[in-house]
Amino acid sequence: MSYTNFTVETDADGIALVTWDMPGKSMNVFTEEVMNELDAIIDATVADSAVKGVVITSGKSSFSGGADLSMIKSMFTLYQQEKAANPEGAAQKLFDLVGRMTGLFRKLETCGKPWVSAINGTCMGGALEMSLACHGRVASNAKSVKIALPEVKVGIFPGAGGTQRISRLTDAQSALQMMTTGQSLNASRAKAMNLVHQVVDPDQLIPAAKQMIKDGLKPIAPWDEKGFKVPGGGIWTPAAAQLWPAAPAILRRETSGNYPGALAILKCVYEGLQVPFDTALKIEQRYFTQVLQTTEAFSMIRSLFISMQELGKGARRPAGVPKTELKKVGVVGAGFMGASIAYVTAAAGFEVTLIDRDIEAATKGRGVGEGLVKDSIGKGRLTQEEGAALLARLTPSADYADLKDADLVIEAVFEDRAVKKAVIEQVEAVIPETTIFASNTSTLPITGLAENSKRPDQFIGVHFFSPVEKMMLTEVILGKNTGDRALAVALDYVAAIKKTPIVVNDVRGFFVNRCVFRYIHEAYDMLIEGVPAAMIENAAKMAGMPVGPLSLNDEVAIDLSQKILKATVADLGPKAVDERHLALINKLVDELDRRGRKNGKGFYEYPAKPAKKFLWPELKILYPQKPADEIDVNTLKQRFLVTIALEAARTMEEGIVTDPREADVGSILGFGFAPYTGGALSYIDGMGVKAFVELAEKLASSYGDHFKPTPLLKDMAAKGETFYGRFDPYPAADKAA
């Protein structure tokens, strides 16, 4: 029998090699068709008496990334349709649906013939759950091998047997750590945790897997054998008595109870380890069904899985523009930001010329890349040879003529219009007519900068975030005259350096900075009201933000906040900012020289390592303090989330952001907006626009007009609309398909 996604070859020893290699895809993923074919392969190999065992591997450089987008989408679509048609039976339909993969893997595990998974690269999610159902697992020692159950990062958890098999192969503490964080393991770490049996050189992967079968691998999972004992002794042991009372408290400390999927992992493991394996799978299936019905799971999967992939694959790329084959990129400005941009560009395989005012400054910028390469080699992410090749692609220069053959030039100089004007003119004097010019400005409108260009249609903004090598987002900013080809080139470049782009129309602060400073300014309001600084920071973290607003302001620099406030006053007048905010920042910067982390003192004090930073004690004397027990923490949490969500809604209303996916993904990747909400607009949609408007009006009555809902929000509330309904990002053709 032939298959679309698999090939099956049985050797002279009776070992069937099943190679998973989906046509037209860069990575294998689970689809309905894949599961049907795997089901048929299990039946065929069981029925064939000549087959003594099965090795399953991948025909691609990676093993598999888990479930396919379309399958995840269809699960939510089916549930919503069933809920509308048959509310009482909808949960049962969903329960049956999510049990398909669980049942398939259990069928493999109990088929009576030994299966070995030969893991040659990335093996995540459902692919790892399938591998865990195999009786043997061999992994390549290549550094490309990453083994993980990352589902918690998109709002769900390993629901095809993962929670039960992991916790029966390794100790409960390690199992919980792996699953509640979604951490990736290399092959040796997976072996140390007993998740794989052997780690071998890549060319020995298939022979080693076949040898396991030849050596008499038993076709029985450990938990199906009589007398099986859970590693560490199970739930009712002295060790477990120390782990389990602490585990929920630790999880609450890390997540503030915002992630139903993470809590479900604890429940699945705790309850599942006390019952027979098949009963444990039903427990897991029940919790998975419950979690899939939560707003958090729906919103996180949509934004952090589906939308991120769609945007990363060019959802906003103009149709009809040929794909760009970039070879050489110029970066002008070898400060930390420009040097980091040059590094990630060279790491993506491009030739890079890094320009600064003199060769010493340019060479110093290349030194930033050298430091990053050294760090990557030390952590095993690069070999010495790969690091040397990367640096060989990064050439420092003080001569603009070296940009004459660049396909793309990125300007990353000081945020000063005059300085940028001089750079634009010098670059355009030497580059070809076809070269695209991109400005990495963080606040200055692109349209104004493009006035200095002779070719504004080829002028675009590409705004990176620091640290560039870690931050996954870029804002691609369209000036009024930016053409489709400039947008296409910018998006092709962003995809090549493996970042996620959002396309933003031109305005001061673009999207991310507008939202970030609403977050920071709300903290200023709270300080001025007398809310203790520690409560401000802790309430923000409890709301789901990864970093408190005062800590974040220290990171971006308090004097930068001052420059932005003063520039806003200069451009828009004194009423454009809150004079109390400017007074606070002027006092910190001009009187107290507290500029943030960069000079070791801001809202926090930064003592010498290894001591940790701590809030500046004298913050409490800047404004009269309220007693902590008079302050409602829930209201503080709401203020942070609502003020950011309102700003995101304003950008949609103003046409700055036109696709709700970009507002959601941008808010999470750009500054960590409470990921469990699915992003700033999903936070509104998840609550319901009418309920959000009522909450905003309530906050406005107590804390200021900046909480007043916009006309768009009021209109949507009256019509019962959502952002994803009113600004539907999917073309009609997609729906028809």
Structure token digits, residue 424: 């634009």
The CA distance from 444 to 77, in Å, is 42
The span from the CA of 297 to the CA of 284, in Å, is 16
Segment 11-25 mean pLDDT: 96
pLDDT of residue 165: 98
CA-to-CA distance for 502 and 477, rounded, in angstroms? 8
Integer CA distances (angstroms), 132 to 99, 391, 437, in order = 17, 40, 50
DSSP class of 592: T
| Cβ contacts of 24 within 8 Å, gap of 6 or more | none
pLDDT digits 0-9 by tens, 61-105: 999 999 887 777 778 878 888 888 888 888 898 899 889 999 999
Mean pLDDT of 569-577: 87
Residue found under tokens 């393991």: 185
Q: How many CB atoms lie within 10 A of CB 737?
A: 7
Q: Which of 279, 248, 280 is nearest to 263 (CA)?
A: 248
| Average pLDDT over every residue of 135-158 | 94
Give the type of residue at 556.
V
> Measured between alpha carbons, how far is residue 504 from residues 209, 316, 466, 627 in Å?
50, 11, 19, 43
Q: What is the pLDDT of residue 732?
A: 61
Average pLDDT over residues 527-538: 96
Average pLDDT over residues 557-562: 90
Residue 463 a catalytic site member: yes
Residue/partner pairs of 589-595 with CB below 8 Å, 24 or more apart: 589/558, 589/559, 589/562, 594/558, 595/557, 595/558, 595/559
Q: What is the mean pLDDT of residues 585-589?
A: 95
**Which band of pLDDT confidence, cut at 50, 70 and 90, is reported for residue 733?**
very low
- Digit-coded pLDDT (tens) for 703-732: 999 999 999 999 999 999 999 999 999 876
Q: How far is CA 205 from CA 193, 217, 235, 572, 693, in A?
A: 20, 16, 36, 65, 58
Identify the pLDDT of residue 737.
Answer: 41
Confidence of residue 734 (pLDDT cuts 50, 70, 90): low
pLDDT at residue 136 greater than cutoff 60: yes
The DSSP-derived string for 109-157 is: HTSSS-EEEEE-S-EETHHHHHHHHSSEEEEE--TT--EE--GGGGT--
Split at pLDDT 50, 70, 90, the class of 193 is very high
Q: Is 452 helix (H, G, I), strand (E, B) or coil?
A: coil
Query: 684 pLDDT exceeds 90?
Result: yes
Residues 374-397 pLDDT 10s: 999 998 888 899 999 999 999 999
Burial of 653 (0-12, 13-18, 19+ CB in 10 A): middle
| Residue 684 to residue 649: CA distance in whole angstroms | 9
From CA 463, how far away is CA 666, in angstroms rounded?
Answer: 12
Altogether, the residues listed in the chain come to a count of: 737
Q: What is the mean pLDDT of the segment spanning 292-301?
A: 92
Calpha distance 593→571 (Å, rounded): 26
User: What is the rounded CA–CA span in Å between residue 293 and residue 343?
Assistant: 43
Q: All domains of the chain, ordered by start, with CATH?
A: 6-293 (3.90.226.10), 328-510 (3.40.50.720)
Neighbours of 383 (CB within 10 A): 12
Q: Could you tell me the pLDDT band of residue 152, with boundaries at 50, 70 and 90?
A: very high
Average pLDDT for 633-637: 97
Query: What tokens were used for 42?
Result: 């299990």
Collapsing DSSP to helix, strand or coil, 374 comes out as helix
Q: Averaged over 44-60, what is the pLDDT? A: 96
Comparing C-alpha atoms, which of 648, 665, 663 is closest to residue 300?
A: 665
Residue showing tokens 């999610």: 125
Distances (CA, A) of 54 to 32, 42, 114, 145, 187: 22, 9, 6, 21, 21
How many degrees, rounded to 5, is the angle at CA 473 between CA 468 and CA 479?
A: 105
| Measured CA distances, 454 to 421, 540, 564 (Å) | 12, 46, 28
Whether residue 736 has pLDDT greater than 50: no
Phi, psi of 118 (to 5 degrees): -105, 100
**Among the options 463, 521, 581, 706, which is catalytic?**
463
What pLDDT, in 10s, does the model give residues 457-501? 999 999 999 889 999 999 999 999 999 999 999 999 999 999 999
pTM to 2 decimal places: 0.90
Round the average pLDDT of the chain to a whole number and report it.
93
Residue 395 pairs in a beta bridge with: 353
pLDDT of residue 623: 92
